[in-house]
A = this chain, B = another copy of it.
Amino acid sequence: VKETLTIVKIGGNVIDNETLLSSFLDSFAQITTPKMLIHGGGKLATQLSERLGITTNMVEGRRITDDNTIQVVTMTYAGWINKKIVALLQSKSCNVIGLSGADAALIPAVKRPVADIDYGWVGDILPEKINTSFLISLMQQNITPVIAPITCNAEGNLLNVNADTIAQSVAENLAQQFNVNLIYCFELNGVLKNINDATTLIEEIKTTEAEKYKSEGIISGGMIPKIDNAVKAIKKGVSQVVIGNAKFITQIVNGEKGYGTRICN
């Protein structure tokens, strides 16, 4: 029987809210299985850019990352946010290590090729090159990785990468070794039949049901790529993916009914 590994991804709605972040980290520290945290960016990079007079250009929700912007996002994601989370978790007796994808060649990537849009210093992960053995070595030492969405290419350029994609790629790579429980935290309680009614939570979506929910319009908009990626992760061996609210991370980890939408086979 494989050991369970809990991989949690948090985004801006947690990072930007000091109270929510602190209470989330309290719960995260208490997860008893081997675990890993992947964090996104939040508003700090945009705010810092504004204060420095650097224009933020977003195309289809992705940040165009020029020379100034890669410096700002590296400072905020891999610097302040990552180290603040590390320091807080250390104070909660959870021995963590903050990493970017550049560290220990953890997440090799290439600069995204310029097609219609030049995203600048944005990376596409090379999933087959993820340094899985280093992550396993850390967990064997009871050290919990906390990963920022910054990496580099073979030419020594720092690159901005998508935190959701990191979480998925790392989860898939560790699925051979572990029974991986991948949890995406966001601002809602999960997939709702009626987005305006929190009581209409769908507790479980079988991978075979995803297309039906999409055609019915229950899975729509920004939820579509989340579910598509979850289905892909399951097909690559991840045991389950849960999409839920960071406030209820303890309940989600414990598999309590009524918290988060579980995608599984």
Residues of A within 8 A of B (CB): 51-52, 71, 74-80, 82-84, 86-88, 90-92, 95-100, 102-105, 134, 137, 141, 143, 150, 152, 154-158
Contacts and interface: CB of A to CB of B under 8 A. Distances in A.
B143 A104 contact: yes
Contact of A79 (B75, B96, B97, B152): B75
A150 B51 CA distance: 24
A87 B143 contact: no
B75 A80 contact: yes
21 contacts: A74-B80, A74-B83, A78-B78, A78-B79, A78-B83, A79-B79, A79-B80, A83-B150, A84-B158, A86-B152, A87-B102, A87-B152, A87-B156, A90-B105, A91-B155, A91-B156, A95-B104, A96-B104, A98-B103, A137-B137, A137-B141
B79 A156 contact: no
Nearest to A131: B95
A120 B156 CA distance: 35
A157 B91 CA distance: 8
A51 B71 CA distance: 14
Nearest 3 A/B pairs, CB to CB: A79-B79, A91-B156, A87-B152
A70 to B, nearest CB: 9
Contacts of A91: 152, 154-156
A36 B109 CA distance: 25
Contacts of A105: 90, 95
Contacts of A51: 51-52
A51 to B, nearest CB: 6
Contacts of A157: 87
A104 B144 CA distance: 8
Pick the most buried of A90, A105, A137: most chain B CB atoms within 10 A of its CB: A90
